[in-house]
A and B are shown apart, each in its own frame.
Chain A
């Protein structure tokens, strides 16, 4: 048991936790990390096995409630229209993430100024760009520079783009005819060997773990380096609350091991990296007589403004076999054609589209997400017309912040350690519904132009809470934000939050490249201000 306080205690060994741990330990900080999950070995993933489509629905489900593993905490989602998805392990949700790696666009940081809604960020695209470039190198990003959806300049992705597949090519040609934007998707998946890791083999099972180690996750890209630089990572360690002293500084964390034994880990600085559900849960759990509404919560915004990107799937079915069960699940191509606001459409903001593969025969045979099921002799025709013959546009719509969409603590449900579980309250806004309707129509047009025989639509997928954002937003005003522009809690000068909780608005893109760029920026700031950092005595 450590008695000497760590320079920095990180909670959560996922995407953001890994980035901060590596940066700080390489800068000479004494780093300790507490992670409730475990290490996984690549050989545990079921992608190459016959049971892949069976186990993905339970043991390797993207929902902690479906998996129900001891290291997961359950989530009360009875009042939520979308289920939050995540994974608890070294590497965090990156173990099962798809790997799509687009950046936010300049307008995403200025939603209030441009569209008169939500809020502006305290930083802008240009401030974040150097961090995007560094994290692209750290994770190993494949893609093509020069995308006119972004400003010119800066570094291209370090590795060449991944293949776009037969479906991607059809849609790219269709967009050429329509005069619409498309671009090879940047993915944090290796197209060539890099940093001791093997390249992608296109197996298409990225959301159940990558057997090749081609898809980036911090257990591969960051933790080995952080540990080599002296970081101590404790797994099976579930943090119950953060402790504070009389001056209001945080002094460390109380946590439980797998046997339920309680420990205290003292620290000079605490960094929360437990994602936008786990972090507000911990801040609320850390309420005390001095902080009755939870730690760092004088604004009342801890847990509020949860954003999850309402998602629609628009699937085109083609006559020829595209072998669409193969290919990186990240995405093959993307389109930003309808990303920016056009108020004539009846909503503000927009969505990125990402084209994804389509799973195997069990998925084709079961009642589809779009509601079709065919049994009897025609079942075989149904399966043949779906298996390998699809191209799916995933629509990631910008989710606007709403204080009513929030994480609270459950009064009844607990995790395996007896700690109150989070309760998620989430309604899809009218703006999101209109946005999805418009984008579904346009994405259908794209697929039909590409030659799809028919298009099947899943309008609002329940199990699509992949992107967890906004529950401890950053900002310059302590009355209206939880964190300052450097991810430090306004109320607690030695507490940082580096996960997706810090987002002011959600943008309409997959968020992880931005989460880790922001986390690296916060870590740089910790290094630069190390001698001015207030710590408990």
Chain B
């Protein structure tokens, strides 16, 4: 067990859980944020964003309505800045949970090798040829009109050599 003081005391933690549950309840195969957001998740968010602690505490004040929906209405009306930070804490804590991400099918920002040797699908489908066939679209400053070119543009050899450094 950690000896560090808890981020929130038990009443504050209960308020947060109710608020989180209200905003992101268990539904559609996803767990409730009230359950997911534990001390560890809060510490993670505040470790990354220590500046959010103040708003989190402010949003848990006992003088605000106990009912989560009423609390959100008061915060939105009187302290929109606190509310937007509080939402970030809740959303940040929920969506950085491994299980939540797995259930969403979101693996995180991954490193994907570019297959630059592959002939792109858009060339395969002739999509570039169609753009070229429509001719130039730039406005020629000498005439003020769309440029006219002597020869139609076609894919250059270079363009076909996509995937090879030129």
A residues lining the B interface (CB < 8 Å): 47-48, 50-55, 57-58, 105-107, 109-110, 113-114, 124, 144-146, 148-152, 156, 158-164, 169, 172-173, 175-176, 179, 181-184, 191-192, 194, 199-205, 212, 321, 325-326, 336-337, 339-341, 360-362, 365-367, 375-381, 383-384, 387-388
Contact = CB atoms under 8 A, between A and B. Distances in A.
B111 A361 contact: no
Contacts of B137: 148-149, 181, 336-337, 339-340
Nearest to A120: B141
22 contacts: A48-B108, A50-B96, A51-B49, A53-B92, A105-B138, A107-B139, A110-B141, A144-B128, A148-B131, A148-B136, A159-B166, A160-B161, A160-B164, A184-B122, A192-B165, A194-B165, A202-B111, A203-B109, A326-B112, A340-B146, A376-B25, A383-B104
Given A191-B116, A202-B114, A50 B51 contact: no
A457 B153 CA distance: 36
Nearest to B152: A148
Contact of B166 (A151, A156, A361): A156
A161 B114 contact: no
B109 A360 contact: yes
B121 to A, nearest CB: 6
A161 B112 contact: no
B158 A156 contact: yes
A199 B114 contact: yes
* Secondary structure of the A contact surface, majority rule: loop
Nearest to B121: A169
Contact of B109 (A109, A162, A205): A205
B111 A48 contact: yes
Given A152-B153, A376-B23, 20 more contacts: A48-B109, A51-B96, A54-B88, A107-B140, A156-B156, A158-B166, A160-B164, A164-B120, A176-B131, A183-B131, A184-B120, A200-B114, A205-B109, A337-B137, A341-B139, A377-B28, A378-B27, A379-B25, A383-B104, A388-B105
A385 to B, nearest CB: 11
A160 B166 contact: yes
B144 interface: yes
B139 A54 contact: no
Interface bin, chain B? 35 or more
Nearest to A189: B114
Given A146-B156, A176-B127, A202-B114, A109 B141 contact: yes
A377 B26 CA distance: 7
Interface of B: 22-25, 27-30, 44-45, 47-49, 51, 84, 87-88, 91-92, 94-96, 100-101, 104-106, 108-116, 120-122, 125, 127-128, 130-132, 134-141, 144, 146-147, 149, 153, 155-156, 158-159, 161-166
A382 to B, nearest CB: 10
Contact of A149 (B45, B87, B138, B144): B138
A148 B125 contact: no
Contacts of A109: 141
Residue among A152, A337, A376, A383 facing the most chain B CB atoms (10 A cut-off): A383
A516 B97 CA distance: 43
Contacts of B110: 201-203, 326
Contacts of A113: 141, 144
Given A151-B147, A191-B116, A326-B112, A366 B139 contact: no
A483 to B, nearest CB: 22
A236 B136 CA distance: 48
B28 A380 contact: yes
A107 B141 contact: yes
B121 A380 contact: no
Contacts of B91: 362, 365-366
A383 B24 CA distance: 11
A365 B95 contact: yes
Residue among B49, B105, B120, B149 facing the most chain A CB atoms (10 A cut-off): B120
Contacts of B113: 201
B68 to A, nearest CB: 10
Given A124-B141, A192-B165, A57 B22 contact: no
Contact of B138 (A106, A159, A204): A106
Nearest to A375: B23
Contact of A360 (B48, B108, B164, B166): B108
A199 B116 contact: yes
B151 to A, nearest CB: 9
CB-CB nearest 8 A-B residue pairs: A51-B48, A377-B27, A201-B111, A110-B141, A361-B95, A380-B28, A107-B139, A340-B139
